[in-house]
Amino acid sequence: MDPLVRDAATLTDRIAQLDEDVRAFVPEPDRPRRIAADARRIAERWPDSAERPPLYGVPVGIKDIVRVDGLPTRAGSELPADALAGRQATVVDRLRRAGALVAGKTVTAEFAVLAPGPTRNPRDLAHTPGGSSSGSAAAVAAGMVPLAVGTQTVGSMIRPAAYCGVTGFKPTYGRIPVDGVIASAPSFDTLGLYARDVAGLATAAAVVCDDWQSAALGSGSPGPVLGIPVGPYLERAGAEALDAFDAQVKQVRAAGFDVRPVPMMDDFEQIVAQLFVMNRYEVARTHAEWFTAYGELYRPETVKAIREGHDIGDDAYARARQEREEFRERIAAAKDAHGIDLWITPAATGPAPRGLDSTGSSLMCLPWSNAGLPSLSLPAGATPQGLPFGLQCVAAWGADEQLLSWAPGIVTALAGPGPVGP
């Protein structure tokens, strides 16, 4: 038996065993047969080990708003799969060309909005894994797959990474094509990746991101200047998250990083309101045809979001778009004025909340998603009960390569002397 086919059998056994509790994957009746057949095709396509592509045989979970040939897309909803069908997403084309093995569809909140799926946090099954990319984050955290694809509209990549204690990457808006992905709010929707570590993210990012420059920075490059956005935004984090963040800042400073507090976002509530207007307006229009035809099948949380969007007029939306452009300019100006390379913040307002009826707060991700900036969540300690914290690192527009090349130094600093956590 080819080693890849043997590994595929181990993969399906692992998913069957672990997912009974975690529920990260969308159920698939004949997963073992499909994966074995895909593994054989991959092995036959690249028989010479010297010519194998970078993701040869790597199992990957795909969030169930991303279309994959041979697997139905339901987007965590009760709508018929035929209504949501379409061509395979470009991101899946790229993964498969690089030799990746699709392990299955991962659970999403309904239409990647608010209504949570059944996935549990592998760190503590009584707690949420976050949303909406819950299944992708949990599948990596549980050790079912080393790589998974998710999406972020506001906080749907970074927050689950923090809650589940994995490494999560949301590239610059538009860096990965989103064709073949069911939209939520198209002005924000961004594909991203979960992996066990930064190296795994970098390998996959080079495959799926447009025009990736792997050698953007050498290992001898100086460390980045880190900025802390002080003010109403940071104050929205909870006490546990802020205590953990203080400890993280001490560790990166002790490792030699230049860390600079920068007062900013005094109008954070207006920023939240502006994003809400754009988000809800776009969600309502994305779902206009489906909601008309299948409205009774939508869950209450999604119905509420769509109806909120119906109440937002074109003029209000146009004003919100203009406010966002002004906000992007302010973020870039603050970065330049203070010599900041990376912003660092808590990746979530606190550890994963108990219960599965909510996916938690996206506020720590909101301004950076609003600006379309590349973001990374690095595991950064845990509560005494073992619930993880994440450190969010945010780079300038288009600086995705720099973000991932700087991250290992920050990871090393966080692993240095002293506890990271409250």
Active site residues: 63, 132, 156
Alpha-carbon torsion (301, 304, 310, 316), positive or negative: negative
Which helix (DSSP H) or strand (DSSP E) does residue 157 occupy? none
Lookup: tokens for 398: 């288009």
For 186, 263, 336, the CA distances from 183, given in Å and listed in that order, are: 6, 34, 33
Q: Is the peptide bond before 362 cis (omega within 30 degrees of 0)?
A: no
Amino acid, single-letter form, for residue 413: A
Beta-bridged to residue 394, according to DSSP, are: 343, 375
Label residue 296 exposed, middle or buried (CB < 10 Å: 0-12, 13-18, 19+). Answer: exposed
Listed residue (213, 58, 87, 211) closest to 149, CA to CA: 58
Instruction: Determine the angle formed by the axes of helices 400-414 and 239-254, rounding to 10 degrees.
Output: 90
Instruction: Report the C-alpha gap between 160 and 167 in whole angstroms.
Output: 10
